[in-house]
Structure 1
Amino acid sequence: MEARAQVRFARHTPMKARRVVDLIRGLPASEAQAVLQFAPQSASETVYKVLSSAIANAEHNFNLDRDTLVVSRAWVDEGPTLKRFRPRAQGRAYRINKRTSHITVIVESREPKGRTR
């Protein structure tokens, strides 16, 4: 069983948010939260909240155990771009693109693999 959470129109560029999402893909959920807490990127706070929401959805909606959850899929899509203008010299104007992103995290329950020696 899998649970998902999504944030839309997050004010992070998709390229920078993908760097953070790539850190947690495939990790156990508790380990992914620890990685995100200490990641220096600004998008890590938003991704942490989405991951926490996905874990809460799995616990509340599907009665899954928090310890067996793994980040099975996570991706970032590009949202709409806010177009702004910056005044420049001699009456010119330069466009500034303020990009947004849609961040999706899916966690699923997997049995922990037993350690073999």
Structure 2
Amino acid sequence: MAEARAVLRYVRVSPRKARPVVDLIRGQQVPKALALLSHTPRAAAKVVEKLLRSAVSNAEQKNIDDADNLWVARAFVNGGPILKRFRSRSMGRANSIHKRTSHITIVVGTKGKPVSA
């Protein structure tokens, strides 16, 4: 199975919020996945849609197949570095704020086609 991938690193979206969006498209055909993402009302959906389009473009660049025959083979979200900030509170205290980042990876490929060597 021929594959192409796209990786987006250091996205300012929490992994906890990005994982449900990525779970929607895992194992889907690319046109259906793009339709799902365009109608998903979450902030991470726009980022994942752009990344999926990039993976499809990479597949077309590698002459794997056109977008209609591609599937989302693998898609996952890993946590990136955490930006640590502080907010002042009453009586001289401070609360910590963790601004989380994500590394999102999408791999698209063809189903059932043998890999040409």
TM-score, normalised by the number of residues in structure 1: 0.92
Paired AA for residue 6 in structure 1: V
| Equivalence map 1:57-76=2 (5 Å) | 57-76=58-77
Match of 2:7 in 1: 6
Find the residue that maps to 1:26 and give its secondary structure. Answer: coil
Match of 2:81 in 1: 80
Paired AA for residue 53 in structure 2: S
CA contact (8 A) 1:65 1:109 kept: no
The structural deviation recorded for 1:42 is: 0.4
The structural deviation recorded for 1:62 is: 2.7
Match of 2:28 in 1: 27
Find the residue that maps to 1:62 and give its secondary structure. Answer: coil
Match of 2:91 in 1: 90
* Aligned mates of 2:3, 2:63 — CA distance in 1: 8
Match of 1:114 in 2: none
* Aligned mates of 2:77, 2:64 — CA distance in 1: 27
CA contact (8 A) 1:29 1:70 kept: yes
Match of 1:42 in 2: 43
Hey, which bits of structure 1, 4+ residues long, moved more than 2 A?
none
* Aligned mates of 1:20, 1:66 — CA distance in 2: 20
**Count of matched residue positions in the alignment of Structure 1 and Structure 2:** 111
Match of 1:115 in 2: none
Pairing 1:104–2:105 present: yes
The structural deviation recorded for 1:58 is: 0.3
* Aligned mates of 2:73, 2:64 — CA distance in 1: 18
CA contact (8 A) 2:55 2:106 kept: yes
Percent of residue pairs identical: 51
Segment of structure 1 superposing worse, 43-52 or 61-70: 61-70
Q: CA RMSD in A?
A: 0.9
Match of 1:17 in 2: 18
Segment of structure 1 superposing worse, 59-68 or 10-19: 59-68
TM-score, normalised by the number of residues in structure 2: 0.92
CA contact (8 A) 2:29 2:70 kept: yes
